[in-house]
Amino acid sequence: MTEQAQPACTRHASAGVRGLSPYEPGKPVSELEREYGISDIIKLASNESPLGPAPAALEAAHTALADLALYPDGNGFELKQVLARRHAVAPEQIVLGNGSNDVLDLAARVFLGPGRNAVFSQHGFAVYMLVTRAVDAEAREVPALAMEATMPCGHDLQAMAAQVDEQTGVVFIANPNNPTGTWVESDPLEELLERLPPTTLVVLDEAYAEYVQTPGYPDGTRWLEQYPNLMVTRTFSKAYGLAGLRIGYGLCHPAVADLLNRVRQPFNVNTVAQAAALAALDDNEHLARAIKINNQGLAELSRGFDRLGLKWLPSAANFISVQVPDAPATYKALLRAGIIVRPVAAYGLPGFLRVSVGLPEHNHRLLMSLEKVLKA
């Protein structure tokens, strides 16, 4: 098909949007099947739970299908009640999102715009750049800590604070961070909160918080009362295994939540997602099993990378980034072996591949395949 001239209307699109590259998700299994004609594929690319949803969540989702002719509860009353009790906040402090990245977008739409700026770390979640530039705000990406640092490629909080000025609308902090898996401990993070001006919204993205077993890691929700300019985001896509239903939430001051809810799309969280999330919150045993499998998998992968002589970044999440001699070639070779991992060159880590933790048999197959690739 010949290339068509762009419509004249595109000239009036936001300059920030015109300069963006679309977010590229991990390769789907079906796409790899089409490209290579292979089966028995394992996907370790998108930080999904290998355990899947709790059986009770699946049952609740199935039951909710009977109400698909009706609009969902646009305010998410029942889910907010449960979340409020869990986090010891008022329901008015909760914003529901179509995944937690939806809440990140709401924060940018409310607190950023032309003449404003957002501060975030190098190697940070791609959505921070996307939502900032989409509203024509300035994106201030702060260099991460050096590879030789105690927390290699982690957030340099002091350098981030130095980039904040009167026009800084949002500071994004991922803890743990995607795609590095690195984390920020309690004391330096609270020091940053003390240092930042109250006019700047601090978004603490805790998408992987349920997995963290590392001493010194903070639960950001305990600071909500002390810092009215703090918002903590969480998701059901990771440890709860509900990535396909797209549901997450933000916890913040009621006045901040009110502003976000003014621009939130009506019915942004569907009926099935709300029902599944409610059931998932009630199954602590399934969550504990997911965390245990993840901890064992992280240890297995790190030992395997050590055995292969590969450098890897410390991770407190459900993935680990590993440095390989030729990341593009290794990625393609693993695809041919039926294993999907994630290149992270777009995150400023061209020599690394990000590997999501799978079930024990998935992790073993990845390590065996990687060993063959490296020898070849």
Write down the architecture of domain 55-281 according to CATH: 3-Layer(aba) Sandwich (3.40)
**Domain spans in the chain, listed from the N-terminal domain onward:** 23-52+285-375, 55-281
**What is 182-221 written as a DSSP string?**
----HHHHHHHHHHS-TTSEEEEE-TTGGG---TT---GG
Sequential pLDDT tens for the chain (376 residues): 345 778 877 777 777 787 777 766 777 888 888 888 888 999 999 999 999 999 999 999 999 999 999 999 999 999 999 999 999 999 999 999 999 999 999 999 999 999 999 999 999 999 999 999 999 999 999 999 999 999 999 999 999 999 999 999 999 999 999 999 999 999 999 999 999 999 999 999 999 999 999 999 999 999 999 999 999 999 999 999 999 999 999 999 999 999 999 999 999 999 999 999 999 999 999 999 999 999 999 999 999 999 999 999 999 999 999 999 999 999 999 999 999 999 999 999 999 999 999 999 999 999 999 999 999 8
Q: Would you state the pLDDT for residue 203?
A: 98
Q: Would you state the pLDDT for residue 157?
A: 98
Alpha-helical runs (H) found in 88-201: 100-111, 126-134, 157-162, 186-195
Closest CA to 128 of 115, 116, 141, 111: 141
Q: Would you state the pLDDT for residue 23?
A: 65
Q: Would you state the pLDDT for residue 44?
A: 97
- Between CA 285 and CA 54 the distance in angstroms is 9
Q: Would you state the pLDDT for residue 317?
A: 98
Q: Would you state the pLDDT for residue 109?
A: 98
In DSSP terms, 43 is beta-bridged to 340
- Between CA 66 and CA 259 the distance in angstroms is 33
- Between CA 50 and CA 232 the distance in angstroms is 25
Q: Would you state the pLDDT for residue 3?
A: 59
Q: Would you state the pLDDT for residue 34?
A: 86
Q: Which residues contact 10 (CB under 8 A, 6 or more apart)?
A: 18
Tell me the CATH number of domain 23-52+285-375, given options 3.40.50.300, 2.60.40.1260, 3.40.1160.10, 3.90.1150.10.
3.90.1150.10
Cβ atoms within 10 Å, residue 362 = 18
Q: Would you state the pLDDT for residue 366?
A: 98
Strand, coil or helix: what is 283? coil
Q: Would you state the pLDDT for residue 16?
A: 76
Q: Would you state the pLDDT for residue 15?
A: 77
